[in-house]
Amino acid sequence: MKYSYKILSVILIFYTLVWGLLNPVPRLDILNETIRNVYYHVPIWFAMLFMMTVSLIQSIRALTNTDLTNDSKAYNAALVGFFFSLPGLATGSIWAKFTWGTWWTFQDPKLNGVAISILIYLAYFILRFSIDDELKRARISAVYNVFAFVMMNVFIMILPRLTDSLHPGNGGNPAFAKYDLDSNMRMVFYPAVIGWIFFSYWLFEIKNRISFIKNKIDD
């Protein structure tokens, strides 16, 4: 039971790596074969969003009690989420170069939103390191983390939908509704999302255990 989600995550990701390259995809101009990036680029971001949600929940729990493990878990989740955002950015940038024609465009609110969100979470890490008192750190960073989560959602989920965006599903562009028509792609995309979310949770769990050991040694 303890390992089942880890095994499932490896099976699902492995399946998407193999079948994601083999299965038939819609034949579209400009995108061509790069449409397969949907299986790899998008689930990474979903995993990041999932980890930030875990971080939010842990921060809220940290505010309701004085147990420092919640604070530690909130930090670990945000850290894992942060490390998922970096390949998310890099893969998006590569994909953009060959479809939109540029590594980075300031025309797209989603790109700018993501950049701001990453800075917001970097500020969260810096804030944590700047407070020595453990209880104080737990409280202040938990409050900040709730704001960070809300701001991230405003910047990457709400604003890009209100203005023009190159991303599907934003600024009136079709998103999954279009891909949904293709059941072949859905058969890889959804397992990939689940697989990467479980994988991120696996990393989160290991990080938590290391934090636990560290605390135990420090005491």
* Phi, psi angle pair for 51, to nearest 5°: -65, -40
Q: How far is the CB of 205 from another protein (least distance, A)?
A: 9
Q: Is 2 near another protein (CB under 8 A)? A: no
Q: Is 206 near another protein (CB under 8 A)? A: yes
Show the CA angle centred on residue 193, arms to residues 187 and 194, nearest 5°.
Answer: 95
Between residues 136 and 209, which has the closer beta carbon with respect to another protein? 209
Q: Is 1 near another protein (CB under 8 A)? A: no
**Neighbouring residues of 136: CB distance < 8 A, sequence distance ≥ 6:** none
Using CB under 8 A as the binding rule, the residues of this chain from 178 to 197 that contact another protein are none
Kindly tell me which residue out of 32, 93, 107, 163 binds another protein, with binding defined by CB under 8 A.
32
Inter-residue contact 113 to 167 (CB < 8 Å): no
3-class secondary-structure state, position 14: helix
CA atoms of 116 and 94, how far apart (whole Å): 20
Judged by CB under 8 A, the stretch of 54-62, 79-87, 118-126, 209-217 that binds another protein is 209-217
Nearest to 77 by CA among 32, 25, 124: 124
Binding mask 4-23 for another protein (x = CB under 8 A): ------x--xx--xx--xx-
Under the rule (CB under 8 A), what is the footprint of another protein? 10, 13-14, 17-18, 21-22, 27-29, 31-33, 202-203, 206, 209-210, 212-213, 216-217
